Structure formats: C-alpha cells, structure tokens
Amino acid sequence: MSSILSGLNPEQLEAVSLPHQSALILAGAGSGKTRVLTTRIAYLIQSGQASPHGVLAVTFTNKAAKEMIARLSAMLPINTRGMWIGTFHGLCNRMLRLHHRDAGLPQLFQILDVQDQLSLVKRVMKAMGVDGEKFPPRQVQWFINGNKEAGLRASKVEAYDDFSRRMTEVYAAYDEQCSREGVVDFAELLLRCFELLQANEILRDHYRERFAHILVDEFQDTNRLQYLWLRLLAGNRCAVMAVGDDDQSIYGFRGAHSANMQSFERDFGVAKVIKLEQNYRSHGNILDAANHLIRNNRTRLGKNLWTAESHGEPLRVFQAPTDLDEAAYVVDEVKALSREGVALSEIAVLYRSNAQSRVLEHALFNAGLPYRVYGGLRFFERQEIKHALAYLRLAANPDDDNALLRVINFPARGIGARSLEQLQESAKAAGGSLWQAACERSAVGGQPVGRALPVDPRPATTGRPASSPLKGIPAFVALIESLRAATQGLPLPEIVEHMVEHSGLKQHYQSEREGADRLENLNELVNAAVGFVHEAEDDSLPAFLAHAALEAGEHQAEEGAQALQLMTVHSAKGLEFHGVFITGLEEGLFPHEQSFNQDGGLEEERRLMYVALTRSKRRLYLTFAQSRMLHGQTRYNVSSRFLEEIPERLMKWVNLTAPFAPVLVPEPKPKSKSAVSFTVPKASHGWQVGQSVTHPKFGSGVIVNCEGHGPDARVQVRFTRAGVKWLALEYARLTPA
C-alpha cells in the first residue's frame, strides 16, 4: 500500500481510492475530511490518474486552500504552484483574468469590496434621483447580490409592483455603471464566469477536458449559482467528489442550500454515498448527545458519529437564576479548568447571539481572566456601540470633537468632506469646538441653532425632530439638542434607550441585511446601563461612559497570549477545544425566536446546536438562565427544547450550593433531573412568575407576570410558539407543566 494511504480507516480509504466516478462523501464532524480530500488529490497524482494541473479543488476559505496546498507539498515531491485550488470567487477571478476579452472585461478589472459596492450603489441612486429613505442603499445592495447569486440579471428579474420595478431599474443602471468603470463585485465574479462558460462552447470544452477531477469541500454550504457553475464546468465526463455534512449546514441566511447534497446524488448519478462516521475529536457521551439531537431533523441524509475513545464525562448542565449568575458560573468553571492544567486557549464559551457576550465579558473583566473574542470585536468596540456611545457623549458634553466627528454624518444626513473641512476651519479660527462652530453655522431666522434654541422635548420618531425641515449640519445640531432636552433628568437606562431609539441608529440598522445582530447589541447596551445602575455608586451618564471606556480599552488578550475564547456558534464551525460552554440555552434565544416562523428555520437552529456540541473534545457545559435582561427589562425563560432532546443518562445537572439572588427561593426540580430551580414566591392565587404551565390551545409556556386578585387576577404567559399573552385566571384553563 502506498505510504500516503497508510493510517486511513476503511471508509476513508474507500473514498480516497475510488475509481473515476462522481461521489458524495458524507463527512461527520471530526471525521478527517480535510485529510481525505488532500489524500485523494495526492493519490490521483501519484497513481497517474491526473496531473497536478488537471485537478480543480474548491474550498470555502483562503485559509483552507493554503492548508490543502501545504499538506500536498508535504505528501508529494510536486510543484504545487499554479494548481487550481481555491475558493469559488478566487477560481472564478483566475478564469476571468485569463479570458477577460471573452468575458467582456478589461484586462485589469478591479474587484469592489462590500463598502466600495455600497458607495457605487449610492452614486447610481443619486444620479437616478432615487429616494434613499424609501429605497435604503443597503437593501438595494442585497437585492442586487441576491439576484446575482440566483443567476438572474436585471432583465430576468420579475417585478411584481412599483417597488420591485424601481429596484430592478437601479440594478440595471448599477450593472451599466460597473461596465463603464471596468469593475466587478464579488457576486459578479461567479455570475460572469458562469455566463462565460455557458456562452463559450470552445472554452467550456477546454476546461471540461482539462479538469477530469473536481473536488469540493464544505459542499453543504454551496448556494444555487455555485452548484450550477459546478454542473456546467463538470459536464458528463468529469468525476466530481463532493465532501460535506448536511448536519452542519448553518448558513441558510447567506444563501447556502443544503438540499444541493440531495440534488448532487441525482444530477451526478452517484451510485453510493460514503459516510465518514468515525470521530477523532470527541469522547463518546458528547457524540451520543449530538447524534440524539440531530435525529430530530427530518430532512437529512443520515449518519451516526462514533469514536474508539471512551465515553468520557457526562455533559454538565447548569440552570442559573439570572444571566449574571450564568456568567459567574462560567467564570468559576473556567478557573477550575485552568487549575486542572487546561490552557485558556483550549476553552471556548459559545453563544447564539453576539449581544450575549456583554455580560460574559463583564464577568471575565471583573475576574481578571484574559479573553479574546474570536472572529469579532469585544462588545464596547463594536461599530454600533461606538456610535451609540458617541451620541451619549454628545449628550453629556457637546464640545466632544471626537464624538461629533464620529456621528455627524452617521446615519448619513448629507454632510460631505468639504462641509467638515469648513467646519473644522471655522472652529480653529474661533478657537472653539466643532459643536460651537456648527451652532454658529446653523442659523435659523437670524438666530443661531444651539443651546439657545428652544426645542420640542417630545421624543422624535425618525431620529430627528419630525417637524424640522433642516438638512445637513443644521439638522444634526437640532437633533442633538432635541435628544439632550428630551433626556434631561431621566434615569441612565432611559437616557440610553432614548438615544438608541431616536438617534437614527435603530432605523439605520433595521435596513441592513444582517442588521439583526447590531440591533441586539444596541438593546444590550440598555441592559448594560441597567446593570451599571445596580452596581455603581455613581450612576450618572459620565460615570457610565467612563466605565464603557475602561472595559473597551483593557483586558483583551494580545495576539499569541493565552486567553479564553469567546465566540458565536457560527464562528466556532471548524474549530475544536478541550472544554466548551454553550450558554443561553433558552427558547427564543437558542433556538432563536426568528426561526419559529421560517421554513426550515428550526432545523437549521438544531444543526447549529449540533455544531456547538461537536466542538468539544473532553468537557462540555450546557447553561441557561431562568431570567435574562432584554431591552432593559427582565425576561423569564423556558429552557431550550434542545436540552430535552438529549438523553438524561448523558447529562449531569449541577446543583447550586446556595441561591445567588436573595429574592429567590429554591424549589426542587422533578426527580428525573437532579437540579435545583429557583422561582419567586407564589401569589395568593397560587401561580408564580417563572412557573412552567400548559394551555390546551397555546401549548407550553412560562408565567412572566402576575397581577390582580380574586376574579380580576390575570397572568402574562410567554408561550413557546404562541408568543406572549395575558390570560384571565378565571377562564385561563392553565395547568402546571
């Protein structure tokens, strides 16, 4: 047997040594799929079935492509330079560079990044006189990219009403402008390459003859156009090896189509699916938990992970009274793992939503534990939080030039670079602040707009005074004055909430395709203010801003230093750790409430949980809180259904030695789970906040509020699927869960 094949298990060996045929390799988490892909390429070259330049391999990241090339160089004495190994966009870019004339592109065409593309969209809309408020530029950008990823030019898009018709007109004008300037966006790379192969038979036949073997990694993450491009390039004679795991398809929101795996079986005449089920990462109990969980998904090809390792420890499940207690538990357990000799870099804390990191970061900061937010920014360093803090800084001190420069044109209000230069020149000449110069330049009726300007203290509804016809700098000055006036004398959390609601930030991020995370972070800033009021002696706005600056400026571990890893579950895909904490396991949070009303949404959330579970090698913690701050208010939660889908025998419920919150009293859990839960004392009618209940129509839920007595008593229940409802107890027909 060739040395490159030694050490492969039977299924891996079968995949690597397949004859010339298309194959679907269903590769479970930790099953060695990267090794199989790389060894397959090496085997084809070593056995003479293909030359280094006769293989095309597609990865989803440049990092994965570089790793594959490095492994190949170590396995075979070949020159890997020039091999066709890369991402979809990278390979299409290479093909278009080689055949730019046939593709109708200039030789040195430029690629627009996301921000450059948005700027071009704005320019096109301005030239067309399109209202940016009715047609938010970011929404237009999504529309263009979404249609390109579906393989549709503007001429092929069906317009159902005036709105979609106008969007399509902008799409067409945008394409024309890109052609004039000789630029392409990311989505255009793939679409243009697909159209090139589709239209040019000679070129298509050339590449079909050249690439006898195509290998695709992470096949479950391909979108519609990527799949069509592969079919077109492969033709009937190419052997395509698709490697992926439908149970790890978690990018539906980006257009990934896990059903491509089922389509591949049919379209490429796959005779046999090879399943890589032996896991080399995790202990048995972790894999058993993941297997039981994912079986609840109906639309899957099906596999069962196993390991030659021992069962290992049970999964530790912790039920906390509050999110603060959950964070405190995580800190204590991380310290315990560290004392056992586990490196901090081998421990990860996962969460479903970015906003959850704020409470965790605060607890780690106070405990002096170094941490790093993987694949993202720390809470107080995130763009939307910095913008919100800048507005708050202006409320506290409008002469803060840095804060003013950050938000004077964010959200956009038509203040260009020249206007800012003139403003800075005026401030310098007068020896004053930018704010003072702005007030001087914002004269209305002969009176300067500024501190002497009477304003309506009623909250604005669109981020600026509703009746104000002002534009540019005058509009900004009037907005800041209205915000300052409306928040005078308010408690800190209400100041923060008002700024978030009426600065224009919320409306701006609502128009972003992936703005939901930013909105959750802005809501979490209100929670941060609530928590600060409870903890600090000085709960003023300046004190809160100082607190935010301190937490933003310190304690993020330097690159290369030992640090705890914080990340969303999406960011954790492809990684592994000795110990993993999966936090926030509550209905509405994980699974996320948005998934309840989306086709296939709940199944994707379950796949996301499957990914989270399989990141752990040895120690796995599952945590949730009975109450959590949301929008500055306490929300009472039901534990995630995912906990119910894991067998009891695999879990160890961690008991609390003492209640964290003095207002809560312990009440034993059912015998099947040796946990301690905490609920508030019962009201006179016998029901209590935090109690799990069942309704014959609305299903299961938890009581989040009680009020009234006797026949007037009623309860507010957050139902898992029916939402929040008030029910009169006299007619409620509730039963304890």
Higher pLDDT, 256 or 285: 285
Q: Residues 43-78: pLDDT tens digits? A: 999 999 999 999 999 998 888 888 999 999 999 888
What's residue 359's pLDDT? 93
Q: Are strands 633-636 and 616-630 parallel, antiparallel or unpaired?
A: antiparallel
Q: Which of 5-19, 81-95, 519-533 has the lowest mean pLDDT?
A: 519-533
For residues 481 and 455, is the Cβ–Cβ distance under 8 A? Answer: yes
**Tell me, what's the pLDDT at 660?**
33
Range scoring the smallest mean pLDDT among 89-103, 453-467, 583-597:
453-467
Please answer whether residues 388 and 528 qualify as being in contact, where contact means their C-beta atoms are separated by less than 8 angstroms: no
Residue 693 has pLDDT above 50, yes or no: yes
- Write out 6-39 in H/E/C secondary structure: CCCCHHHHHHHCCCCCCEEEEECCCCCHHHHHHH
In the predicted structure, residue 305 carries a pLDDT above the cut 70: yes
Provide the pLDDT confidence category of residue 14 given band limits of 50, 70 and 90.
very high
pLDDT at 663: 30
Upstream peptide bond of 591 is cis (omega within 30 degrees of 0) = yes
pLDDT above 90 for 428? no
- Percent of residues, the chain, with pLDDT higher than 70: 88
Q: Is the pLDDT of residue 552 over 70?
A: no
Question: Which residues belong to the active site?
Answer: 33-34, 217-218, 248, 615
* Higher pLDDT pick, 107 / 448: 107
pLDDT bucket at 680, cuts 50 / 70 / 90: very low
Query: Which of the four pLDDT bands, split at 50, 70 and 90, describes residue 657?
Result: very low
**Residue 294, number of CB atoms within 10 A of its CB:** 26
Tokens of 614: 């399989």
Q: Higher pLDDT residue, 428 or 442?
A: 428
Nearest-Å Rg of the Cα atoms of the chain is: 29
**Encoding tokens for residue 659?**
């209640």
Q: Are 282 and 614 in contact (CB under 8 A)?
A: yes
Residues of the chain above pLDDT 90, percent:
52
Per-residue CA distances from 351 to 287, 356, 449 (Å): 20, 7, 46
- Predicted pLDDT at 465: 37
pLDDT of residue 697: 74
User: Residue 464: is its pLDDT beyond 60?
Assistant: no
User: Whole-model pTM?
Assistant: 0.76
What whole-number distance in Å separates Cα of residue 375 and Cα of residue 574?
Answer: 13
Helix or strand run (H / E) with residue 241: strand 239-244
Sorted by sequence, the CB contacts under 8 Å of residue 574 that are 6+ apart come out as none
* Average pLDDT score over the chain: 85
Asked if pLDDT for residue 404 goes beyond 60, the answer is yes
More confident site: 730 or 354: 354
Buried b (16+ CB within 10 A) or exposed e, 66-98: eebbebbeebbeeeeeebbbbbbbbbbbebbee
DSSP 301-368: -----B-SS---PPEEEEEEEEHHHHHHHHHHHHHHHHHTT--GGGEEEEESSGGGHHHHHHHHHHHT
Q: For residue 269, count other CB atoms closer than 10 A to its CB.
A: 10
How far is CA 573 from each of CA 29, 245, 350, rounded to the nearest angstrom?
A: 10, 12, 11
Taking CA atoms, 405 is separated from 13, 390, 398, 463, 675, in Å, by 61, 9, 11, 18, 52
Of 679, 699, 677, nearest in space to 688 by CA: 679
Candidates 454, 457, 471; CA nearest to 409 is 471
Closest alpha carbon to 398 in 455, 437, 357, 358: 437
Side-chain half-sphere exposure of 142, counting CA atoms within 13 A = 13
In the predicted structure, residue 667 carries a pLDDT above the cut 60: no
- Which residues lie across from 701 on neighbouring strands? 693, 719
Residue 104: predicted pLDDT: 94
Residue 27 reports pLDDT greater than 70: yes
Tally of helices (H runs) and strands (E runs) in the chain = 27, 25
The stretch 98-102 carries a mean pLDDT of 94
Both structure tokens of 106: 């200039």
For residue 517, pLDDT beyond 90? no
Looking at 96-110, 151-165, 480-494, 723-737, which range is the least confident one? Answer: 723-737
Give Cβ neighbours of residue 206 (< 8 Å, ≥ 6 apart): none
pLDDT, tens only, 602-640: 999 999 999 999 999 999 999 999 888 876 678 888 899
Q: If pLDDT is split at 50, 70 and 90, which confidence band does 560 have?
A: low
Handedness of CA 250, 253, 254, 259 (dihedral sign): positive
Burial of 621 (0-12, 13-18, 19+ CB in 10 A): buried
Top pLDDT among 662 and 547 is at: 547
Tell me the pLDDT band of 688, cut-offs 50, 70 and 90. confident
> pLDDT by residue (tens digit) across 112-142?
888 889 989 999 999 999 998 889 898 999 9
Determine the average pLDDT of the residues in 354-370: 91
**What are 231-284's pLDDT values in tens digits?**
999 998 899 999 999 999 988 878 888 889 889 999 998 988 999 999 999 999
